[in-house]
């Protein structure tokens, strides 16, 4: 009874509908479509790195990971994405990390996607994981234990070539199911979940 009334209270807040995201491998068409739309929004419209589309040959073999939100546990929107591909046996690359503008900076989605990228590559035999990281994001990756290996120019933009410390990323057991990432949790809902 007590818990029910707390949830009703939480549902009356705007934040409740976005209180959790699932970070997972994209398997459904709508997830892949929305991930591509978000990538275009970020890398074409916002950053102007590409003129019309950021799609390239790596997309043929890459796996797309997404952060989805929804209502009452039913996912209906992609708000973050990243892709991974195997460059040579055991060597994986992450790229096209993007979070919807209104979900950035304090919700931890970028970090969660980076975690899922490396953990799901490990599930497929990854022994080394690299990414070319835009310089403004260097601090974020360094905080996550990545090693800076040297500056490179990619698509006319300065990047840092970086390597993940795989010891910090356990193998993902089931990437298509992924994990739940809590965001914007009203304090009382978070404490109820911790008790459950």
Ligand X SMILES: CC(C)(COP(=O)(O)OP(=O)(O)OC[C@H]1O[C@@H](n2cnc3c(N)ncnc32)[C@H](O)[C@@H]1OP(=O)(O)O)[C@@H](O)C(=O)NCCC(=O)NCCS
From residue 36 to residue 65, the character string flagging contacts with ligand X as x (rule: CB under 6 A) and all else as - is: ------x-----------------------
- The reply to whether 142 sits near ligand X by the rule CB under 6 A is no
Regarding 107 and contact with ligand X (CB under 6 A), the answer is yes
Q: Considering the complex, state which of residue 123 and residue 138 has its C-beta at the smaller distance from ligand X.
A: 138
Q: Which own/partner contact pairs does 85-88 have at CB distance under 8 Å and 24+ positions apart?
A: 85/58, 85/61, 86/61, 86/121, 86/124, 86/126, 87/130
Q: Is 138 in the site for ligand X (CB under 6 A)?
A: no
The tokens for 112 are: 């969660």
Question: Quick one: which segment of 15-23, 29-37, 49-57, 95-103 binds ligand X (CB under 6 A)?
Answer: 95-103
22 binds ligand X (CB under 6 A): no
Helix/strand/coil (H, E, C) string of 51-82?
Answer: CCCCCCCHHHHCEEEEEEEEECCEEEEEEEEE
Q: How far is CA 173 from CA 39, 123, 176, in A?
A: 27, 7, 9
Residue 140 found at the interface with ligand X (CB under 6 A): yes
111, 124 Cβ separation under 8 angstroms: no
Q: Give the count of residues interacting with ligand X (CB under 6 A).
A: 17
Minimal distance, residue 111 CB to ligand X, in Å = 4
- Tell me which residues touch ligand X (CB under 6 A): 42, 97-99, 104-111, 133-134, 137, 140, 143
């Amino acid at each position: 009874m007590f818990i029910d009334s707390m949830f009703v209270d939480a549902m009356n807040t705007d934040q409740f509908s976005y209180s959790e995201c699932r970070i997972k491998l994209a398997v459904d068409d709508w997830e892949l479509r929305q991930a591509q739309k978000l990538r275009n929004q970020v890398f074409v419209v916002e950053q102007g790195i590409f003129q019309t589309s950021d799609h390239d040959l790596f997309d043929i073999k890459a796996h797309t990971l997404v952060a989805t939100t929804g209502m009452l546990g039913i996912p209906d929107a992609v708000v973050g994405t990243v892709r991974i591909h195997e460059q040579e046996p055991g060597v994986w690359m992450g790229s096209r990390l993007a979070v919807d503008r209104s979900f950035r900076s304090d919700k931890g989605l970028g970090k969660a996607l980076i975690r899922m990228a490396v953990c799901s590559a490990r599930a497929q035999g990854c022994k080394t994981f690299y990414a070319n990281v835009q310089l403004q994001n260097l601090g974020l990756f360094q905080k996550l234990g990545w090693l800076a290996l040297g500056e490179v120019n990619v698509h006319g933009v300065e990047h840092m070539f970086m390597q993940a410390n795989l010891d910090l990323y356990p193998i993902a057991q089931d990437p298509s199911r992924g994990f739940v990432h809590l965001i914007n949790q009203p304090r009382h809902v978070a404490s109820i979940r911790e008790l459950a």
